Amino acid sequence: MKHMYDIEQIRKDFPILERQVYGKPLVYLDNGATTQKPRQVVDAMSEEYYSVNANVHRGVHFLSQQATELHEASRETVRRFIHARSTNEIVFTRGTTESINLLASSFGEAFMKEGDEVILSVMEHHSNIVPWQLLASRRGIVIRVIPMNDRGELLIDEYRKLFSERTKMVSVAHVSNVLGTVNPVKELIAYAHSQGVPVLVDGAQSIPHMPVDVQQLDADFYVFSGHKVYGPTGVGVLYGKEEWLDRLPPYQGGGEMIQSVSFQKTTFNELPFKFEAGTPDYIGTTGLARALDYVSSLGMDQIAAYEQELTAYATRRLMEVSGMRILGTADAKGSVISFLVGNIHHFDMGTLLDRLGIAVRTGHHCAQPLMQRLGVEGTVRASFGLYNTKEEIDLLVAGVERVSRMF
């Protein structure tokens, strides 16, 4: 049986939530950018530095073996969390951005030539646009874009029309970091597979908020960042089906990723190490594993349900503000609300909210093509995490009203 979702107890695990800024209690609503860390994560990392630290995989000595065991146990924790078949399918990276760059580079080299096409969506983060553009300039590949309706939902019929015999990859966000739209990735994947095309899912904004099962989705690749799921910065994951990863060339060269090296011929290590050149962030992977343990102990279903309730409440309350415009009103929506009020510049709104202790994000959210589609320069974005409360949302709404009155 699941435990009750005890928000007071949960908040005690995150010391930073006790902070004041400008003499006001911190209301942290920038979880889409990064999440705060529970003691369980930070303590495990300092404990490992203090009592285990040694380089992994190549030492015969006790500490090195212990560090290696912890690092590989973390890989197993990630495997279990996303329900991959094997730890060979879990590649540690620096984060979502590096995972996508790795894949675009490696997949592009192996499987794409001039004139081949990749399908992205109009709501992608720059991290899922620019690596493909770099590939376009190197190899002459072509980017096709799935459009959306005014509610921020992808147009599935248009998506299907984008496929041609040149389509080699589809790469889409599971959840939009601006609109909050939960894209129907299972459906997108099924169609791509019917056309013989693999799919990369950018899970940066889904992993912290909902249960994800890569086998159930049948995703070929799934990527995310540790820091957005209550883990440390600098560590992330590329999940790839073993049959794909096996066929891809290495991304970076160096130690760890080789089997043997000579000036005549070098052979590469087996999966997943083939993609992990250099000393990995083995302390970071411990932190990530403890973060996944933390959210698992609360239950991803419970977190999703709690955040859904918060988001519905926030949407209802924000709509009470005169001149409120919420960008992104999809039926399936995660815990992100982008908004603008009257003619108030998003930057002014964000700066003044900050003075009230309320941390929101303003600007284009690394999604400039989406801003162009929406016809705005930027938005104010409140994004919720597992520790936010209705009281904090009331403070946000009161803050927005107060700022509105000033204009």
Q: Which residues are catalytic?
A: 366
Instruction: Find how far residue 254's CA is from the centre of its chain.
Output: 27
CB of 226 to ligand PLP, least distance (A): 8
Between 177 and 338, whose beta carbon lies closer to ligand PLP?
177
| Secondary structure class of 181 (helix, strand, coil) | strand
Backbone angles phi, psi at 276, to 5 degrees: -120, 70
Q: In this chain, which stretch among 197-205, 297-305, 341-349, 387-395 interacts with ligand PLP, using CB under 6 A?
A: 197-205
- What does DSSP say about strands 199-202 and 167-173: parallel, antiparallel, or unpaired? parallel
Six token digits for residue 91: 């590649």
Contact between residue 32 and residue 361 where contact means Cβ atoms under 8 Å apart: yes
Least separation in angstroms between CB 46 and ligand PLP = 22
Asked if 212 interacts with ligand PLP (CB under 6 A), we say no
Residues 287 and 41: beta-carbon distance below 8 Å: yes
Query: How far from 17 is each of 24, 25, 41, 42, CA to CA, in Å?
Result: 12, 8, 15, 15
Quote the distance between the C-alpha of residue 319 and its chain's center.
28
Task: Indicate the residue among 128 and 286 with the shorter CB distance to ligand PLP.
Answer: 128
Asked if 30 touches ligand PLP (CB under 6 A), the answer is no
177 near ligand PLP, judged by CB under 6 A: yes
Structure tokens at 390: 């209705």
Q: How far apart are CA 90 and CA 245, in angstroms?
A: 10
Select the residue interacting with ligand PLP from 30, 89, 117, 202 (CB under 6 A). Answer: 202
Q: Is 388 among the residues that bind ligand PLP (CB under 6 A)?
A: no
Report in angstroms how near the CB of residue 202 gets to ligand PLP at its nearest: 5
Q: Is 338 in the site for ligand PLP (CB under 6 A)?
A: no
> 96, 106, 311, 335: which one contacts ligand PLP (CB under 6 A)?
96
295 is an interface residue for ligand PLP by CB under 6 A:
no
Which one of 225, 311, 388, 389 is in contact with ligand PLP (CB under 6 A)?
225
Listed ranges 120-128, 160-168, 278-286, 304-312: which one lies at the site for ligand PLP (CB under 6 A) = 120-128
Return the range that interacts with ligand PLP (CB under 6 A); candidates 202-210, 259-267, 329-337, 368-376: 202-210
- Distance between CA 234 and CA 129 in Å, rounded? 21
Alpha helices in 37-118 (DSSP H): 39-51, 62-82, 96-111
Q: Closest distance between ligand PLP and the C-beta of residue 95, in Å?
A: 4
Q: What DSSP designation does 247 have?
A: H
How far is it, in rounded angstroms, from Cα 281 to Cα 67?
11
- Shortest Å distance, C-beta 204 to ligand PLP: 4
Among 121, 127, 181, 335, which residue interacts with ligand PLP (rule: CB under 6 A)?
A: 127
First CA to last CA across the chain, in angstroms? 51
Position 36 contacts ligand PLP (CB under 6 A): no
Pairing assessment for the beta strands 142-146 and 117-121 based on DSSP bridges: parallel
Kindly tell me which of 310 and 367 has the beta carbon lying closer to ligand PLP.
367
Residues that bind ligand PLP (CB under 6 A): 95-97, 125, 127-128, 173, 177, 202, 204-205, 225
